[in-house]
Amino acid sequence: MGRAFVYVILGGGVAAGYAALEFTRRGVSHGELCIISEESVAPYERPALSKGFLLPEDRASLPSFHTCVGANEERLTPKWYKEQGIELVLGTRVKSADVRRKTLLTAAGETISYKILIVATGARALKLEEFGVSGSDAENVCYLRDLADANRLVDVMQSCPGGNAVVIGGGYIGMECAASLVINKINVTMVFPEEHCMARLFTPKIASYYEDYYQSKGVKFIKGTVLSSFNIDSTGKVTAVNLRDGSQLPADMVVVGIGIRPNTSLFEGQLTLEKGGIKVNGKLQSSNSSVYAVGDVAAFPVKLFGETRRLEHVDSARKSARHAVHAIMEPEKTGEFDYLPFFYSRVFTMSWQFYGDAAGEVVHYGDFSGGRFGAYCVSKGHLVGSFLEGGTKEEYEAIANATRLKPAIEDLGELERQGLSFALTV
Ligand code: FDA
Ligand code: NAD
């Protein structure tokens, strides 16, 4: 039993949606392309799950956030895939892959073969068990990676109005979920091991701006420690969180955001891996020339930094997917992927953007009390990264352009004095 396609996209997330749109633009024929996804819905904009999807009123719901609505392009509903002749194989997990034979075996026992495979399997949330703590399967412990998780989070949140939530992790999920919980009138305590929130990207000064704002909204921070165990009652619900520093926090619900691992296991021993992902070249092609990898699972050369990186952000998923499809459909016209890393977040009424690399020395500028500030990262005498809080579209474009140019910086004091006008005039 089996089906054969010219192109198969394995995974039905953000990258899959953008790749599908690009295939149709480049002229894929009916019946040539198939998307296999473990999720039961067509590709959607995952970032909505920690933002609009968690709002108490006017909650975002499908089909409103199917890809590619986040990039102001066509919204690809299941009907669209049907009209384009793209086979959507949903609710189907691929359990093994054979890149030599060019086949995938689904959990239902079907063999699907391809000429070209795009691996877009994304990542899975790390579990507390991987850090030696048990209790992840308790009824009111929530993770957030897919729509099923988000539906569960909403149900749990609605089951304890005015209750206490403990948010484990001070990264993206922790910060965005904490804000959404507050908007839902839940009392939030955040617990994380670092000295400040968003330790991978924020400087202590930027983090303190965010933490002060969160505290003004009632959020409590417990830093420099991790949880050691849960108290679980006879109904299977967590009632309290015990921390390694000996303290105990009462909890009606727990949200865990402690990082991810790329879904590479199907290809271990078959494709070259690097930085936890599938290593690809500037055409997003893996060590097997019939297999491409895009999005969170791909480790690709970032030309600007002369280094292979694996990025866990939506813009990189969108653009790497498009580039891979260009490279597949028009190989002779497609150059190397030249990507400027871009991260952003929105919480409460605040938002920031960051371009480039969070490396080297940092220069802050602007008005930290008024919420209009930024920072530059300077490494080896060049601007390599730019952060801006509360910018306009033009200002964000300016910091992106300035970072891409990697201008030489001789005087950090002068850069600090010029602040945003440096990026606007470079
Ligand atoms: P993605 O995870 O989107 O999709 C992977 C797909 O593969 C899933 O459908 C999965 O089920 C499927 N799959 C995996 N293994 C499979 C198998 N064996 N068989 C079948 N299917 C399989 N980024 C950002 O820049 N700004 C933001 O605001 C946010 N916000 C945000 C919120 C939340 C809640 C999350 C979880 C993530 C974000 N992100 C983000 C990150 C962003 O969503 C992420 O980088 C992209 O979704 C990556 O896209 P991919 O297509 O690579 O993976
Ligand atoms: P993350 O890597 O951003 O943060 C992980 C956090 O886990 C760390 O900041 C740390 O505080 C904490 N941590 C690590 N080990 C811990 C331990 N043993 N106990 C307690 N805390 C521990 O990962 P995340 O927040 O889980 O986000 C998951 C993925 O979703 C990431 O790929 C992220 O890029 C993506 N995401 C991105 C956005 C965005 O770009 N705006 C929004 C949401 C999610």
Edge-to-edge strands, sheet with 94-98: 2-4, 111-113, 103-106, 94-98
Q: Which atom of ligand 1 is nearest to the CA of 94?
A: 19
Q: Whose CA is nearest to atom 12 of ligand 2?
A: 169
Q: Can you give the pLDDT at residue 73?
A: 87
How many percent of the chain have pLDDT more than 70? 100
Q: Can you give the pLDDT at residue 1?
A: 66
Model pLDDT for residues 73-90, shown as the tens digit of each residue: 889 999 999 999 999 999
- How far does residue 62's CA lie from ligand 1's centre (Å)? 16
Q: Is the pLDDT of residue 349 over 80?
A: yes
Q: Letter for the amino acid at 72?
A: N
Q: Whose CA is nearest to atom 16 of ligand 2?
A: 258
Model pLDDT for residues 135-148, shown as the tens digit of each residue: 999 999 999 999 99
Q: Please indicate whether residue 169, judged by its CB atom, sits closer than 6 Å to ligand 2.
A: yes
Q: Can you give the pLDDT at residue 322?
A: 98
C-alpha distances in Å from residue 310, one per residue of 50, 143, 208, 367:
22, 22, 28, 33
Model pLDDT for residues 12-44, shown as the tens digit of each residue: 999 999 999 999 999 999 999 999 999 999 999
| Ligand sitting nearest the alpha carbon of 257 | 2
Q: Is the pLDDT of residue 402 over 70?
A: yes
Mean pLDDT along residues 309-334: 97
Per-chain mean pLDDT for the chain? 97
Six-digit token pair at 181? 């919980």
What residues line ligand 1, using a CB cutoff of 6 Å?
Answer: 11-16, 36-39, 46-47, 49-50, 93-94, 120-123, 144-145, 263, 266, 295-297, 312-315, 317, 343-345
Q: Is the pLDDT of residue 204 over 80?
A: yes
Q: Which atom of ligand 1 is nearest to the CA of 122?
A: 53
Q: Please indicate whether residue 12, judged by its CB atom, sits closer than 6 Å to ligand 2.
A: no
Ligand 2 pocket: which of 175, 312, 353 to mutate (most atoms <8 Å of CB)?
312
Six-digit token pair at 98? 């054979």
Q: Which atom of ligand 1 is nearest to the CA of 266?
A: 18
- How far does residue 93's CA lie from ligand 2's centre (Å)? 25
Q: Please indicate whether residue 50, judged by its CB atom, sits closer than 6 Å to ligand 2.
A: yes
Mean pLDDT along residues 236-262: 97
Q: Can you give the pLDDT at residue 70?
A: 82
| Ligand sitting nearest the alpha carbon of 200 | 2
- How far does residue 11's CA lie from ligand 1's centre (Å)? 9
Q: Can you give the pLDDT at residue 419?
A: 98
When mean pLDDT is compared across 66-75, 168-177, 292-301, 348-357, the lowest value belongs to 66-75
Is the ipTM higher than 0.90? The answer is: yes
Q: Can you give the pLDDT at residue 15?
A: 98
Q: Can you give the pLDDT at residue 149?
A: 98
Q: Is the pLDDT of residue 422 over 80?
A: yes
Mean pLDDT along residues 353-359: 97
Q: Can you give the pLDDT at residue 72?
A: 80
Model pLDDT for residues 221-236, shown as the tens digit of each residue: 999 999 999 999 999 9
